[in-house]
Structure 1
Amino acid sequence: MDITLLEKSKDQTKLSFILKGVDAAYANSLRRYMINKVPTMAIEEVEFRKNSSALYDEVVAHRLGLIPFTTDLKSYNLPSECKCKGAGCAQCQLKITLKAKGPKIVLASQLKSKDPKVEPVYPDTPIVELLKDQELEFVATAVLGVGKDHIKWSPGLVYYRHKPKITINKNSFDEAEDAAKKCPVNVFEFKNNKIAVDNDNLLKCTLCNACVDACKHGEIHVEPEKDTFIFTIESWGQLSCKEIVKESAKVFDKAIEELNEKVKEIKAD
């Protein structure tokens, strides 16, 4: 298995790479583990002290739950894996408070966390509008969780596609210029009555076969490379893309080890 980095954003929220030497089942398992098995921090419970806004407690709580928080995986455990066995301690939960009085729009930046490493990713996210003399006060509990249990804990969007493989059997033919122009992402270049692949744009190919349809005698052939995938990760901001990849690999390896142990137990019986 080989990995080649394609693109990485400066803010660490988007990453693209080529994964070679695996099948579709492995690629999809990796994608699902990144989305569903990598833990992040999110609000799970809210205890309201005051709420005279126009929104019910349940609506405000739902909005709070969907606010992404920066996550420190080294300082917190999943409740199911904590020494307190989920009863609640400083190792598996964090208290977040808010006290506001209108008139104002309450923003995520007004949430007060006891841990400076855990704070809203997008501080300008509006929570609720308070009119004159309306008040909102609560104590929220944030815990680690995984996207498999609720989407609020999912660290981001992960998707992949096959790397395209384009074969030009004949670079000079009657429909060559038309075939080059038909490509919606400009994968081809046409010079001196000859068509060629523009390697700078090759990975933009969507396998739409517009170029193939423009040829009368199969001069161009487009197919996916079965064992090579172009992965893209878009983080919501709780973790960097690098952290998502590392943590998903860690969880994936642990799952494989557990499976191997189960298989050994079955064979022993």
Structure 2
Amino acid sequence: MNIKTISTNKTTEKVTLHIKGINEALANALRRLMIDSVPTMAIEDVEIVQNSSALYDEMLSLRLGLIPLTTDLKYYELPSPEEKESFGAERSAKTSVHLTLNVKGPCNVYAKDLKSKDPKIKPAQPNTLIVKLLKGQELDVNATAVLGRGTEHVKWSAGLCWYTHYPKITINNNKVEDVKNKYPPQIFKNGKVDKDLIIENNLMDAVEGISNDAIKIEYEPDQFLFFIEPWGQLTPKEMFTTALKLFKNQLEELDEKLK
């Protein structure tokens, strides 16, 4: 397997990778592991001491659970099946962290108002609006975030991941001039079609089929473009390397069972 970074968006942290030497089965396995199996932190237990906001307790708990939290995979570990039945303070410090939300109106309550006992575990998108409080309204909430996987609930999913076969692009700029107005402007550089821009912007479908004489796209069977877009709990590198470790562990476990 050979991996090369094609582009990185510093705003969204979305990364595009060029991976050589794998097939569709391995590509899809890595995709599913990144989405469903890479563990992250998310609020699981909520104790509402006071809630006079417009949101029902259940809706408030739901919104808190869906707030992405930055995750430290080096320290925290997944809870055992027995511990999953625990609640709040009963949980281990190695699998969970406690947060509080104590705000009085009038004001907007944001994710950054959640106070964590571990500075490494905090809202990844701090300006996410939770609820608006009017004068006299108040929130007093104790919450517990737990390490989990997306297979259990989407709130533990680390982000999006998708792929396509790597394109082999043939360009005839003389022919492009005849149909230039039919192509997206994002693929042009200094008046000429730039194949790197087609790949970076994932515009293969947008240009394919307009004119094979101008731009012809074929696909490499053992090369893939991987797009990784995290929610903020982990970096794309952490998502990818953790997925590889999980895949290796699964193969070793299967090998042991087959002996």
Q: Secondary structure at the match of 2:121?
A: coil
The 1:176–1:35 alpha-carbon spacing in structure 2 relative to 1, beyond 3 Å, is closer
Query: C-alpha distance in 2, partners of 1:141/1:103?
Result: 26
Q: Is the 8 A contact 1:164 1:202 kept in 2?
A: no
Query: C-alpha distance in 1, partners of 2:61/2:179?
Result: 55
Q: Is the 8 A contact 1:8 1:15 kept in 2?
A: yes
Q: Is the 8 A contact 1:108 1:125 kept in 2?
A: yes
**Is residue 228 of structure 2 the alignment partner of residue 228 of structure 1?**
no
Partner of 2:13: 13
**Is residue 86 of structure 2 the alignment partner of residue 91 of structure 1?**
no
**Is residue 160 of structure 2 the alignment partner of residue 165 of structure 1?**
no
Amino acid at match of 1:255: Q
Q: Secondary structure at the match of 1:29?
A: helix
Unaligned runs of 5+ in 1: 265-269
Q: Is the 8 A contact 1:187 1:202 kept in 2?
A: yes
Partner of 1:267: none
Amino acid at match of 2:57: D
The 1:163–1:49 alpha-carbon spacing in structure 2 relative to 1, beyond 3 Å, is same
Q: Is the 8 A contact 1:79 1:86 kept in 2?
A: no
Q: Secondary structure at the match of 1:80?
A: coil
Query: C-alpha distance in 1, partners of 2:35/2:231?
Result: 11
Query: C-alpha distance in 2, partners of 1:54/1:166?
Result: 55
The structure having more radius of gyration, on CA atoms, is: 1
Summarize deviations over 1:156-189 as a string: whole Å, max 9, x none: 1111111112357xx699x664366644467689
Partner of 1:34: 34
Q: Is the 8 A contact 1:12 1:242 kept in 2?
A: no
Q: Secondary structure at the match of 2:245?
A: helix
**How many residues matched?**
251
- RMSD, matched Cα: 2.8
Amino acid at match of 2:54: A
Question: Offset of 1:28 from its aligned partner?
Answer: 1.1
Query: C-alpha distance in 1, partners of 2:163/2:204?
Result: 12
**Is residue 23 of structure 2 the alignment partner of residue 23 of structure 1?**
yes
The 1:181–1:228 alpha-carbon spacing in structure 2 relative to 1, beyond 3 Å, is farther
Report the more deviating stretch, 33-42 or 85-94: 85-94
Unaligned runs of 5+ in 2: none
Partner of 1:123: 126
Query: C-alpha distance in 2, partners of 1:172/1:75?
Result: 54
Report the more deviating stretch, 6-15 or 106-115: 6-15
Q: Secondary structure at the match of 1:127?
A: strand
Summarize deviations over 1:217-240 as a string: whole Å, max 9, x none: xx9753211111111111111111
Partner of 1:100: 103
Query: C-alpha distance in 2, partners of 1:176/1:69?
Result: 47
Q: Is the 8 A contact 2:204 2:217 kept in 1?
A: no
Partner of 2:152: 149
- After TM superposition, the score normalised by the length of structure 2 is 0.85
Aligned-residue identity in percent: 50
Query: C-alpha distance in 2, partners of 1:134/1:197?
Result: 58
Q: Secondary structure at the match of 2:147?
A: strand
Q: Is the 8 A contact 1:14 1:233 kept in 2?
A: yes
Summarize deviations over 1:21-53 as a string: whole Å, max 9, x none: 111111111111111111110000101111111
Partner of 1:240: 235
Partner of 1:61: 61
Q: Is the 8 A contact 1:157 1:235 kept in 2?
A: yes
Partner of 2:247: 252
Query: C-alpha distance in 1, partners of 2:186/2:136?
Result: 59
